[in-house]
């Protein structure tokens, strides 16, 4: 069996999720390649060594450039802040590495496009961390839509609202600066729901967006009286039109008090409707017009072993799987894709498509008009 040797850059919140997925994937799935946790890169030698030991990696370095150039690395996994994604990915591609990158793919669509072109020219595989569409519930929703069970889709309503920055006393974070994060809630959160919208309904063609910075300054650090300006949006929403004709609304916020994981969607068709919230990720609600009038209402489907990518984790319906399990499905796709030379999705091209939509929403707000996504190069 071919070895697939992983080099991971960054071990913060999302890096830890990736590390858990690397440890779990071989015990859950019959992988097509042998997953080897080869090297970790962090900002100091001590931290890198500590995390490598903790996360089961063979080696460590405090220089990510050494990792991407190492001949014993097959896949470079980028779990760094947004502003480093492009530089790290381009360097990895230059060395012929396959690249697994967290979202958003880049600070803007132009950078994302350059990453797509470089990967295609080098002939390397790519994968972007849009993990929520790996949920068995999302895969079931896609099957229901594709089978025509709710008829033709006429409307999509999607949100990704959280409250991790709802407290105005919370200190400034790199996510608040355009140079390091690019967009704010749009890039950090709505990238996921836009990917989900395109996964379920198809390409978004036109957008009309609105954005707002609600908390305009934040303390330099916890308890500090020194205030720092917030540079990107706390909340945003957009009306959208899909290529297939459906209308839609996308909504996002990082200051939505009470919303801990408010990724939700409602897909309305001519024969019925699907409804989902990530806070109850084992449940998909389905309404169909063809039910008897005295039995109409949303039915709750509890995902279980009969549904995609559920049985490897649990034999009991309704028990559900978790955030890290979605990442494990993602890692399965990564290893199998590299081992068998199979195209992976969502790849850098999908990451670029999402970046175009994000940029189109921002342009729409700036120019106060509807924007066609293909206006963005």
User: How high is the pLDDT of residue 50?
Assistant: 98
DSSP code for 78: E
* Annotated domain spans of the chain: 3-131, 136-280+282-318+354-366
| pLDDT (0 to 100) of residue 377 | 79
| Per-residue confidence band for 113, with pLDDT thresholds at 50, 70 and 90 | very high
What contacts 223, CB < 8 A, 6 or more positions away? Answer: none
- Name beta bridge partners: 99: 76, 126
Span 28-55, mean pLDDT? 98
CB 21 within 8 A of CB 327: yes
Scored b (16 or more CB within 10 A) or e, 148-177 reads: eebeebbebbbbbbbbebbeeeeebeebbb
pLDDT in tens, 63-111: 999 999 999 999 999 999 999 999 999 999 999 999 999 999 999 999 9
- pTM of structure: 0.96
pLDDT above 90 for 131:
yes
Neighbour-count burial of 2, counting CB atoms closer than 10 A to its CB (0-12 exposed, 13-18 middle, 19+ buried): exposed
> What's the mean pLDDT when you consider all of the chain?
98
Same fold, 3-131 and 136-280+282-318+354-366: no
* Residue 189 DSSP symbol: I
CATH 3.40.50.1110 fits 3-131, yes or no: no
249-269 pLDDT tens trace = 999 999 999 999 999 999 999
Q: φ, ψ for residue 57 (rounded to 5)?
A: -95, 150
Average pLDDT over residues 47-53: 99
pLDDT digits over 205-264, tens only? Answer: 999 999 999 999 999 999 999 999 999 999 999 999 999 999 999 999 999 999 999 999
Average pLDDT over residues 4-28: 98
The CATH classification number of 136-280+282-318+354-366 equals 3.30.360.10
- Note the pLDDT tens digit of each residue in 163-185: 999 999 999 999 999 999 999 99
Q: Quote the pLDDT of residue 54.
A: 98
């Amino acid at each position: 069996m071919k070895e697939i040797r992983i080099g991971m850059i960054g071990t913060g919140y999302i890096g830890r999720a990736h590390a858990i997925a690397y440890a779990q994937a071989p015990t859950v799935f019959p992988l097509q390649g042998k997953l080897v946790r080869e090297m970790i890169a962090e900002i100091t030698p001590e931290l890198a060594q500590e995390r490598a030991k903790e996360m089961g990696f063979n080696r460590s370095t405090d220089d990510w450039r050494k990792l991407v150039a190492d001949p014993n690395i097959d896949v470079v996994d980028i779990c760094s802040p947004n502003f480093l994604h492009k530089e790290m990915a381009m360097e990895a591609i230059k060395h012929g590495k396959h690249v697994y990158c967290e979202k958003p793919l880049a600070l803007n669509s132009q950078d994302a496009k350059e990453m797509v072109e470089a990967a295609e020219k080098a002939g390397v595989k790519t994968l972007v961390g849009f993990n929520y569409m790996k949920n068995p519930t999302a895969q079931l929703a896609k099957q229901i839509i594709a089978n025509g069970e709710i008829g033709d889709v006429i409307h999509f309503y999607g949100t990704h609202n959280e409250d991790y920055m709802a407290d105005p006393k919370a200190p400034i974070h790199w996510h608040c600066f355009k140079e390091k994060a690019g967009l704010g809630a749009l890039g950090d959160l709505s990238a996921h729901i836009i990917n989900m919208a395109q996964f379920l309904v198809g390409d978004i063609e036109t957008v009309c967006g609105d954005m707002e910075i609600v908390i305009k300054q934040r303390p330099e650090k916890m308890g500090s009286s020194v205030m720092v300006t917030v540079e990107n949006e706390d909340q945003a929403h957009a009306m959208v039109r899909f290529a297939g004709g459906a209308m839609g609304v996308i909504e996002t916020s990082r200051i939505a008090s009470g919303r801990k994981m408010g990724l939700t969607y409602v897909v309305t068709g001519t024969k019925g409707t699907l409804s989902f919230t990530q806070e109850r990720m084992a449940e998909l609600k389905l309404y169909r017009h063809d039910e008897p009038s005295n039995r109409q209402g949303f039915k709750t489907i509890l995902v279980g072993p009969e549904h995609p990518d559920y049985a490897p984790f649990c034999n009991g319906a309704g028990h559900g799987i978790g955030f890290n399990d979605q990442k494990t499905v993602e890692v399965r796709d990564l290893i199998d894709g590299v081992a068998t030379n199979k195209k992976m999705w969502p790849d850098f091209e999908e990451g670029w498509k999402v970046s175009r939509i994000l940029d189109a929403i921002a342009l729409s707000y700036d120019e106060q008009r509807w924007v066609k996504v293909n206006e963005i190069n």
